[in-house]
């Protein structure tokens, strides 16, 4: 090996790069075939020039998170390694900052998704839980709203797994729907803050519209998010896709492996993608297990289910 290269870091950054029991350093060593040591005040990287360059990029990314006061987890280390390995693009401009800092892609799949949202009128985000498909769509839509590029942010979701039986729930429309929209509201609150979210919702700039209530409407100058779309029927999906009006864009998110409809083959998500992929203005982004950023355990769970499906000879 060549002469080790020493990188001066803050104490917090050095601890973050090393990780508990040097676990983070070991992951970087395995990924780039380098030797990492953490003497006081910095990090020493030994390896060939190309390997050191890759490891240094990961170390810089982790150090930046630590110096910004953000937690550095094992998932963050794996994401940084993946981004360096594939030369992942930086975040597209225009995303707002949330309570945990600037919203940015943490995997190559997320970077491709944000690129599609920026360049396509209709984007399908398909993948397992924890890949950020809904949160990033909300962040993109909030950015458009804050910049005045759209007049409204409209979120739609099947309210009850297969039937949308809203009449059996207590309260008015808002009270009926809110429990099912909790993940979206949490994302919007994180990005906009509680006060601004409440004001914009009261003014009608942020709207919740159950799938059934979109029928007959034309959604103009809006960014529309259709979440949990695997639970829409084919007829519902065609109806909601044809609501797009002048100056509007739409993101459709869902996990084709978690269909709650009685007849799974009636799901409108996979059917719509099969018909529209390749059509001008339509983007399709498929997330994989390596795009999961929620918790390392979620990725292991998804991989186990995928392996079981492969063993049984069926795709999910």
Ranges of residues in the chain whose predicted pLDDT is under 70: 1-2, 85-94, 97-102, 159-180, 313-316
| Predicted local confidence at residue 300, as pLDDT | 81
pLDDT tens digits for range 188-206: 888 888 888 889 999 999 9
- Dist. CA 232–CA 164, nearest whole Å: 10
CATH 3.30.1370.10 range(s) for the chain read: 5-86
Range(s) of the chain covered by CATH 3.40.50.300? 98-311
pLDDT of residue 4: 81
Total-model pTM: 0.68
Class of domain 98-311: alpha beta
CATH architecture designation of domain 5-86: 2-Layer Sandwich (3.30)
What b/e readout covers 46-80, taking b as 16+ CB neighbours within 10 angstroms? bbeeebbebbbbbbebbbebbeeeeebbebbbbbb
């Amino acid at each position: 090996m060549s002469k080790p290269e020493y990188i001066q870091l803050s104490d917090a950054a050095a601890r973050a790069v090393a990780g508990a029991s040097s676990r983070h350093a070991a992951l970087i060593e395995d990924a780039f075939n380098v030797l990492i040591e953490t003497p006081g005040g910095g990090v020493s990287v030994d390896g060939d020039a190309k390997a050191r360059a890759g490891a240094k990029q990961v170390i810089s990314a982790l150090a930046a998170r630590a110096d910004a006061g953000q937690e550095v987890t094992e998932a963050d280390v794996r994401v940084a390694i993946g981004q360096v390995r594939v030369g992942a693009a930086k975040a597209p401009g225009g995303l707002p900052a949330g309570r945990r800092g600037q919203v940015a892609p943490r995997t190559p799949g997320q970077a491709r998704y944000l690129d599609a949202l920026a360049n396509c009128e209709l984007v399908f985000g398909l993948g397992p839980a924890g890949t950020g498909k809904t949160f990033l769509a909300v962040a993109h839509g909030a950015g458009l709203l804050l910049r005045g590029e759209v007049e409204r942010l409209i979120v739609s979701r099947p309210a009850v797994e297969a039937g949308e039986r809203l009449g059996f729930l207590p309260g008015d429309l808002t009270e009926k729907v809110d429990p099912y929209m909790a993940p979206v509201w949490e994302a919007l609150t994180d990005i906009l803050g509680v006060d601004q979210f409440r004001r914009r919702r009261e003014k009608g700039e942020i709207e919740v519209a159950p799938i059934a209530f979109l029928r007959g409407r034309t959604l103009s100058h809006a960014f529309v998010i259709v979440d949990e779309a695997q639970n829409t029927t084919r007829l519902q999906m065609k109806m909601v896709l044809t609501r797009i009006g002048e100056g509007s864009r739409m993101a459709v998110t869902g996990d084709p492996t978690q269909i709650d409809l009685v007849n799974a083959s009636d799901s409108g998500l996979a059917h719509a993608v099969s018909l529209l992929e390749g059509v001008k203005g339509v983007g399709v982004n498929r997330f994989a297990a390596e795009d999961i950023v929620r918790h390392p355990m979620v990725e292991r769970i998804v991989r186990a289910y995928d392996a079981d499906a492969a063993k049984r000879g069926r795709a999910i």
